[in-house]
C-alpha cells in the first residue's frame, strides 16, 4: 500500500471553533511544481495526447479559463468561508453606482472604493445575486448540508507515491472523517450532467482523489460531488458516480502516467495519428447504436 502525506488546508478547528485561513496562499502553494503530478495535468494529457503534454512540460497552458471558471472559483472560495460562519457581505463587494464612471469601473472614485476593500473580493451585481442564490440552495439541500456540517477541512493536500512509483498530489475541496467531497458549479441540466462529468474529467478526479485519501489512511470510498446550477432555478444535488466507471478511469490514469513517463524518458511526444493518415473513428450512435 503506497504511503501518503496529508497537509491541512484552510480550516483551522480549535475547540470546535472553525477559523478560515488564507485560501489563496494554500492554492498557490499547491500549484508550485514539486515533482508531483496533479489531476488537471494528467486529465489534459488524456485529452490532448503527447503534443499537449509537450506544451505543458514546456511551461505553456492549454486552458486559461473563462467567465464560467472564474465564477466557479468565486463560489469555491465562498463554501469554506460559509462553513466557518462568514456571511457573503464580509467576503464580496459590488461597486455602487456612484463610484462608477458612466457604468464603467474606472476613475478616482472607483479606485478609492477598490482600495478600501481589504480582503473582500469585487464582484458584479449579477454574480453577487447568483452567488447568494447558490449558497442558499446549498445549505437548504439536506444531503449537501449534512456533508458541509461534517466537514473538518477544505483545500487539504494529499501527496503520495503510487505502486508504480509515480508521485501524485490532490487538493480536496472538502474532507470528512469518512470521505472526501468536491464542489462543482454547472450550467448543465440534470439530464445532461453526465456529459459534463465525462468532458471535464470528473470520473478521473474521483479515482485520483480516492487514491490519495486511501494512501493517507482513509478507507476506500466513493467521493460525494455537490453540484450547483449557475442559472435559475439554482438547483443543488449530491451525486456519487458508478463504481465500474471509476475503475475504468483509474485504469486510464495508470496507463496515462506510464505514457507520460515514457515520453519524457524518450523525448518522443508524437503518436502515429499525429504523423500518418488513418481512418477517423465514429461513436456507435452514428450507426444507430447506443450513445
The predicted model scores a pTM of 0.89
Q: Which of 32, 4, 41 is nearest to 259 (CA)?
A: 41
- What is the rounded distance in angstroms from the CA atom of residue 24 to the CA atom of residue 238? 26
Q: Domain segments of the chain: what residues?
A: 34-60+141-269, 65-140
Burial call 115-146: b when 16+ CB within 10 Å, e when fewer: eeeeeeeebeeebbebbebbbebbeebeebee
Which stretches of 178-235 are DSSP H helices?
A: 193-199, 202-215
DSSP code of residue 221 = -
User: pLDDT tens per residue, the chain (291 residues)?
Assistant: 457 999 999 999 887 789 999 898 999 999 999 999 999 999 999 999 999 999 999 999 888 778 878 888 889 889 999 999 999 888 899 998 888 887 788 888 888 998 898 888 888 889 999 999 999 999 999 999 999 999 999 999 999 999 999 999 999 999 999 999 999 999 999 999 999 999 999 999 999 999 999 999 999 999 999 999 999 999 999 999 999 999 999 999 999 999 999 999 999 999 888 888 989 989 888 988 665
Nearest to 183 by CA among 218, 229, 117: 229
pLDDT at 82: 94
Strand partners, 14: 17
Residue with cell string 493518415: 277
3-state SS class at 186: strand
Q: Give the per-residue pLDDT at 283.
A: 86
Q: How far apart are CA 278 and CA 290, in angstroms?
A: 24
Enumerate residues 6+ apart whose C-beta is below 8 A from 254: 162, 164
Task: Write down the CATH number for the domain with range 34-60+141-269.
Answer: 3.90.320.10
Amino acid at each position: 500500500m503506497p504511503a501518503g502525506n496529508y497537509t491541512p488546508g484552510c480550516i483551522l478547528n480549535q475547540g470546535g471553533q472553525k477559523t478560515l485561513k488564507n485560501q489563496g496562499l494554500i492554492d498557490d502553494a499547491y500549484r508550485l511544481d514539486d515533482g508531483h503530478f496533479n489531476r488537471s495535468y494528467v486529465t489534459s494529457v488524456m485529452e490532448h495526447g503527447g503534443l499537449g503534454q509537450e506544451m505543458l512540460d514546456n511551461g505553456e497552458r492549454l486552458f486559461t479559463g473563462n467567465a464560467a471558471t472564474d465564477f466557479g472559483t468565486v463560489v469555491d472560495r465562498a463554501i469554506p468561508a460559509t462553513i466557518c460562519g462568514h456571511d457573503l457581505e464580509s467576503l464580496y463587494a459590488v461597486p455602487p453606482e456612484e463610484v462608477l464612471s458612466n457604468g464603467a469601473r474606472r476613475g478616482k472614485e472607483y479606485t478609492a472604493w477598490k482600495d478600501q476593500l481589504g480582503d473582500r473580493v469585487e464582484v458584479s451585481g449579477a454574480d453577487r445575486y447568483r452567488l447568494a442564490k447558490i449558497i442558499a440552495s446549498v445549505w437548504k439541500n439536506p444531503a449537501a448540508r449534512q456533508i458541509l456540517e461534517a466537514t473538518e477541512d477544505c483545500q487539504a493536500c494529499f501527496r503520495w507515491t503510487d505502486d508504480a512509483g509515480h508521485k501524485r498530489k490532490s487538493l480536496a475541496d472538502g474532507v470528512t472523517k469518512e470521505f472526501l467531497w468536491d464542489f462543482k458549479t454547472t450550467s448543465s441540466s440534470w439530464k445532461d450532467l453526465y456529459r459534463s462529468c465525462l468532458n471535464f474529467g470528473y470520473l478521473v478526479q474521483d479515482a485520483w482523489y480516492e487514491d490519495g485519501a486511501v494512501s493517507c489512511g482513509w478507507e476506500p470510498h466513493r467521493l460525494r460531488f455537490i453540484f450547483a446550477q449557475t442559472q435559475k432555478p439554482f438547483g443543488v444535488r449530491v451525486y456519487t458516480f458508478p463504481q465500474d466507471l471509476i475503475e475504468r478511469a483509474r485504469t486510464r490514469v495508470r496507463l496515462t502516467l506510464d505514457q507520460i513517463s515514457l515520453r519524457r524518458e524518450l523525448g518522443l511526444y508524437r503518436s502515429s495519428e499525429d504523423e500518418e493518415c488513418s481512418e477517423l473513428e465514429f461513436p456507435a450512435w452514428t450507426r444507430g447504436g447506443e450513445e
